Amino acid sequence: MRNGGSNRLTTSVRERHARLLAESRSAEPRARLAQASTRAEFLLRLSRTVSAIQNPQRALETLVSVLLEDMVDVAQVVVRTGQWQLVSGAVQGGSVHNTASRVVDGTPADLENALRRGLHDDVVLPKSGAPRRRALAAFLPDPELAAEVDALGCEQLAVLPLTARGRSFGVLVIGRAPGFGFGDAQNFLDDLAARVAVGLDATLVVAESRYVASVLRRSLAPTDLPQVPGLRLATYYRVAHQSQELGGDFLDVHGADDDLILLCGDVAGKGVEAAVHAKRIRNAVRTASHVDRSPGWILGLTNTVLVNEAEEFSEGMATGVCARLRPDGDRLRVDLANAGHPPALLLRADGTLEEVATEGVALALLDGVTYTEAQVTLGPLDSLLVYTDGVTEARGVDDLFGDRRLRDALRGFGGLPPSALIESVAVAVSDHLGERAHDDIAIFAVQFSPEPS
Amino acid sequence: MTTPTATVAGAELDAYWTAVAAGDERAACAAAAASRDRGVPLPEVLADLVVAAQRRVGDLWAANEWTVAREHAATAVGLAVVRRLGADVPTPVSGPVLTVACVEREWHALPAMVVALMLRARGCRVTQLGASTSRDHLVSAILDTGPRAVLLSASLTSSLPRVRRQVEAVRGTGTPVVLGGRAFGNDGRRAQRLGATAYAGSPEVVLEVVTALPLHVPSAGPLRHPGAFEARSIEAESDTISRDVLLATDAALGLGHADRDLATDDWRVVLATFVPHVIDCVAGALLTEDPTVYAETRGWLGGVLAVRGAAPQAVSVVEQALAQRLHDHPEAVRLIAGA
């Protein structure tokens, strides 16, 4: 029996589907063996493909497309992760519908039940009219997809639970063109669902932990630098390999356009602990700067907070440079304090390089530390450069990158935009490192470039 | 029926180039904005002003007319102009999700930025990872954003071995990978040998190429030809190879390696900077089975050194030292001898 719906399918798709889902009960042993081997190969390829793609939505989309290519004419997968429900579905020859929504937003009751019960279910669809549309809507939350399945003339849906680690977290819904069912394939379908579930579960676990890391990562460096009239800002930020992309270096810039606080720091360690610690320091600096904007005082208070609130995980010391930037006519006033950090550099427009002379004890080591401030003045096109020790301690084939190479990288760059300075340093560091692993690297450059009056 | 569109005017070209040459970001942005305001389409402003000027900047450095610092300054202007033009392009909320990145240790960010902006203007949701994107960073971004495809840009042929490693990383996540940039020559052959899902010969065709991509791809199988094996071995010890070649070159040319107070544009500094690139090009030529990768670089380096007053035999000295150092790599030796 064939009607309009199945005529759309090419013979090759139909043949591929038949290889996996033809009735095998009455077939001769050799044919059954061939089918078993085809099914095993397919399951292996399916789980490989789905497991490789560790982005949840892409994994669902790919699962749907592989199922449509090789096995069925309707495929929809629903998974729950945290508060989110992800759905991906399509019919043969149609485009994939993806949605991500909050779990609370009205999942159809039957789908909800299937999710909760975690049992394989075969749903025979009514032939026409409102009952048919209701039955489809009960399992296919996307109205467009439901309409496409209706138009295909699909007679039956198989609802397969996705279960891993003892909990049901999703449902796979599949269907075939009219005239084709799933016959005696139940064991094969259960096996398929089990494989898919293991792969998707791993992907969801990875995605959840990546989400946590990405929230923490946002606290380490600004994604967008503020646009400040008269100042050009540029940053370079690279996290060491093998640290869940959570490093110990951090950058921050905040305040009003005419009174900006800039912070560049480095906490001992890496990973989640370091990111949390860095976030505490950033917060302490931000809070302190609401009370008094002098960098020495800010670092002093931050140090007191860290020493007094030291918890086991945050006992590691930290270093940092805090600078206050105030444009004043054709000059930029900079007050700067340093807590055990590499010295800030001043690159004058004429190419002269100066170190900003001030030093202090690293943060979180001793109580009652005071930080002295250096005052410097930037003229038009002078730049201030602050960096972490990942720059100077980048390991080359024979030696560390060092101050000298840093100075060489800035030679001839007086007056150039801060993005050019940073790029020159970053290229030199990268050439020096070659393929060797590196520590976190952060560079912050500010150039005073007043609007021509 | 198409209406004739405005093209970049000669006066705008001149104004833009003058601004780039002076490192004047504001004037360059103004020239580009003037073109846009007259109705010149964004792709043309990007191609005829920004990309064309950037090519000229590179040529002027190669010809020793501009210093490295001046080249950086001009490049920064180009990047600022693209950012400024991009600020007027709305960020799409639907449309295909794409990731654009430069290969690790590839610092020519402008072509990738131009491609990203053109795709954004045509309705794609583009994540830009910028210059020198590490494999780890790239894979992380793929897992977090789930792009439809990754577009990798490379301008230098010395990047080809790293391109291969990044293709492997991207395809390992099932994601199609499109390669583009000057490193791939004039056709898609090098890109195909490196395992690309597709090759984009120019920024204008990228969207078309992306639309035709498969939804997911299998991981890249290992390259098994003898050259690929040698390329991996060369890459694994490229640091020490490059140090040995530099020492041998210094000795042969009597340069005195310890003299470090040379200007960045001195030919000896340029030579030392590019020896690692030459080694990567040998590996790239072996990986892609394309000897022109090496021959082109050799010719280019010879020209760059000659205009800087290098000893005429400098490149052959480097080449001999390299062939000697790689004597147990027959494919590499044959490649160098054939150039």
pLDDT in tens, A83-100: 889 999 999 999 999 998
Domain boundary among B29, B60, B88: B88
Q: Do B143 and A55 touch (CB under 8 A)?
A: yes
What's residue A17's pLDDT?
A: 84
Contact between chains at B215 and A413 (C-beta distance less than 8 A)? no
| Residue-averaged pLDDT of chain B | 92
Q: Is there a single domain that holds both residue B68 and residue B96? A: no
Q: Which positions 66-125 of A are in contact with B (Cβ < 8 Å)?
A: 66
Which residue in the set A57, A62, A423 is minimally distant from B72, CB to CB? A423
- pLDDT > 70: percent of chain A: 93
> Which of B134, B142, B243 is nearest residue A397 as measured by Cβ atoms?
B243
Q: Which residues of B touch A54 (CB under 8 A)?
A: 143, 173
- Mean pLDDT over A330-341 rounds to 96
Quick check: B106 and B277 in contact, CB under 8 A?
A: no
What average pLDDT does the segment A221-241 reach? 87
Q: Please, which pLDDT band fits residue A243 given cuts at 50, 70 and 90?
A: low
A7 pLDDT more than 50: no
Q: Where is A181: in which H helix or E strand? A: none
Q: Tell me how far apart the alpha carbons of residues B290 and A106 are, in angstroms, rounded to a whole number.
A: 58
Of all helices (H) and strands (E), which one includes residue A170? Answer: strand A167-175
CB-based contacts of B13-16 (< 8 A; 24+ apart in sequence) = B13/B48, B13/B49, B16/B49, B16/B53
Helices marked H in B259-327:
267-288, 292-307, 314-325
For chain B, which residues lie within 8 Å of any Cβ of chain A, measuring from their own Cβ? 23, 25, 67-69, 72-73, 75-77, 79-80, 105, 107, 131-132, 134, 136-137, 140, 142-146, 172-175, 215-216, 218-219, 235, 238-240, 243, 260, 264, 273, 276
CB contact under 8 A, A417 and B140: no
Domain count, chain B: 3
Distance CA A390, CA A392 (A): 6
State the smallest CA–CA distance between residue B264 and chain A in angstroms. 8
Q: Which residue has the higher pLDDT, A23 or A154?
A: A154
Does residue A2 have a pLDDT over 60? no
What DSSP line would sit under A97-141, residue for residue? EEEEEETTS---HHHHHHHHH---EEEEPPSSHHHHHHHHHHH--
Q: Are B154 and B191 in contact (CB under 8 A)?
A: no
Q: Is the pLDDT of residue B85 over 90?
A: yes
CA angle A256, A261, A267 (to 5 degrees): 145
Mutation for A interface: B143, B266, B271, most A CBs within 10 A: B143
- What is the ipTM, given to two decimal places? 0.87
CA of B291 vs chain A CAs: smallest distance (Å): 24
Contact B276 A397 (CB under 8 A): no
Contact A416 B243 (CB under 8 A): no
B235: which chain A residues are within 8 Å (Cβ-Cβ)?
A: 435
- Using CB atoms, pick whichever of B25, B142, B238 lies closest to residue A417: B25
pLDDT digits (tens, 9 = 90+) for B51-71: 999 999 999 999 999 998 899
Tell me whether residues A416 and B23 touch, CB distance under 8 A.
yes
Q: Do A424 and B172 touch (CB under 8 A)?
A: no
Is residue A413 within 8 angstroms of chain B, CB to CB? yes
Global confidence as pTM: 0.89
Please compute the mean of the pLDDT values over residues B190-208 and round it to a whole number.
95
Interchain pair A58, B172: CB under 8 A: no
Q: Which residues lie across from A87 on neighbouring strands?
A: A78, A99
Q: Are residues B97 and B217 in the same domain?
A: yes
Instruction: Summarize pLDDT for B230-278 with one digit per residue, the tens.
Output: 999 999 999 999 999 999 998 998 876 555 667 777 888 889 889 999 9
Specify the pLDDT at position A293: 95
**Once rounded to an integer, what is the mean pLDDT over residues A177-192?**
90
CATH number of the CATH domain containing B135: 3.40.50.280
What is the nearest CA distance from B89 to chain A, expressed in angstroms?
Answer: 17
Do B117 and B141 have their domain in common?
yes
Q: Which amino acid is at B332?
A: A
A241 contact B CB<8A: yes
Rounded to an integer, the average pLDDT of A330-353 is 96
Pair B56, B174 in one domain: no
DSSP A411-443: TT-TTS-HHHHHHHHHHHHHHHHTTS----EEE
> Are B331 and B216 found together in one domain?
no
**Looking at the partner chain, which of A54, A66, A417 has a beta carbon nearest the beta carbon of B143?**
A54
List C-alpha distances in Å: A67 to A43, A72, A86, A162, A180: 10, 6, 18, 15, 15
Fold topology of A7-211: Beta-Lactamase (3.30.450)
Name the CA radius of gyration of chain B, rounded. Answer: 21
* Phi, psi (deg, nearest 5) at residue A395: -90, 125
Burial class for B256, CB neighbours closer than 10 Å (0-12, 13-18, 19+): exposed
The pLDDT tens digits for A315-325 are 678 999 999 99
Specify whether B125 is located in the same domain as B197.
yes
- Phi and psi angles of residue A388, each rounded to the nearest 5 degrees, phi first: -100, 170
The answer on B272 and B238 residing in a single domain is: yes
B197 and B302 inside one domain:
no
What are the φ and ψ backbone dihedral angles of B192, each rounded to 5 degrees?
A: -65, -40
CA pair distance B301, B294, nearest whole angstrom: 11
Q: Which of A56, A397, A417 sits opposite B76 (nearest CB)?
A: A417
> Which chain B residues are closer than 8 Å to A417 by Cβ?
23, 25, 73, 76-77, 80
Delimit the domains of chain A by residue range. Answer: 7-211, 221-448
Q: Do A245 and B68 touch (CB under 8 A)?
A: no
User: CB distance A210–B25 less than 8 Å?
Assistant: no
Q: B169 to chain A: nearest residue by CA?
A: A52
What pLDDT score was predicted for residue B256? 66
Residues B241 and B314 in one domain: yes
Contacts of A49 in chain B (CB under 8 A): 174, 216, 218
pLDDT at A112 over 50: yes
Determine, for residues B216 and A62 on separate chains, whether the beta-carbon distance falls below 8 Å: yes
Instruction: Say if A240 is an interface residue toward chain B (CB within 8 Å).
Output: no
Smallest Cβ distance to A53: which of B137, B145, B173?
A: B173
Q: Tokens 């050259």 sit at which residue?
A: B227
The predicted structure's pLDDT at residue A241: 67
- With an 8 Å Cβ cutoff, are B146 and A56 in contact? yes
Q: Which residue in chain B has the smallest CA separation from A61?
A: B215
User: Tell me: the pLDDT tens digits for A8-24?
Assistant: 556 778 888 888 887 76
**Above 60 in pLDDT, residue B3?**
no
Q: What pLDDT score was predicted for residue B232? A: 95
Binary contact (B72, A420; C-beta < 8 A)? yes
Confidence (pLDDT) at B315 = 92
Proportion of chain B above pLDDT 70, given as a percent: 97
pLDDT in tens, A346-388: 999 999 999 998 989 999 989 999 999 999 999 999 999 999 9
Average pLDDT over residues B20-46: 94
Chain A closest-CA separation from residue B177 CA (Å):
14
Q: What is the rounded CA–CA span in Å between residue A160 and residue A119?
A: 7
Taking CA atoms, what residue in B is nearest to A436?
A: B239
The fold of A221-448 is Phosphatase 2c; domain 1 (3.60.40)
Q: How many CB pairs under 8 A join A and B?
A: 105
Query: Are the Cβ atoms of A413 and B72 closer than 8 angstroms?
Result: yes
From chain B, pick out residues whose CB is under 8 angstroms from the CB of A44. Answer: none
3 state SS of B66: coil
**C-alpha distance from residue A429 to each of A407, A409, B329 (Å):** 12, 9, 30
- Mean pLDDT (whole number) for A180-185: 86
**In the predicted model, is pLDDT for residue A242 greater than 70?**
no
The answer, for A235 touching chain B at a CB cutoff of 8 Å, is no
Q: How far is C-alpha B180 from the chain's CA centre?
A: 9
Mean pLDDT for chain A overall = 89
Last residue of one domain, picked from the residues B62, B88, B114: B88
Any chain B CB within 8 A of the CB of A179?
A: no
Give yes or no for A417 touching B (CB within 8 A). Answer: yes
Which positions in chain A touch B23 (Cβ < 8 Å)?
A: 416-417
Domain that holds residue B18: 1-88
Same domain, residue pair B22 and B99: no
Residue A447 C-alpha from the chain's centroid: 31
List pLDDT tens digits, range A63-87: 999 999 999 999 999 999 888 899 9
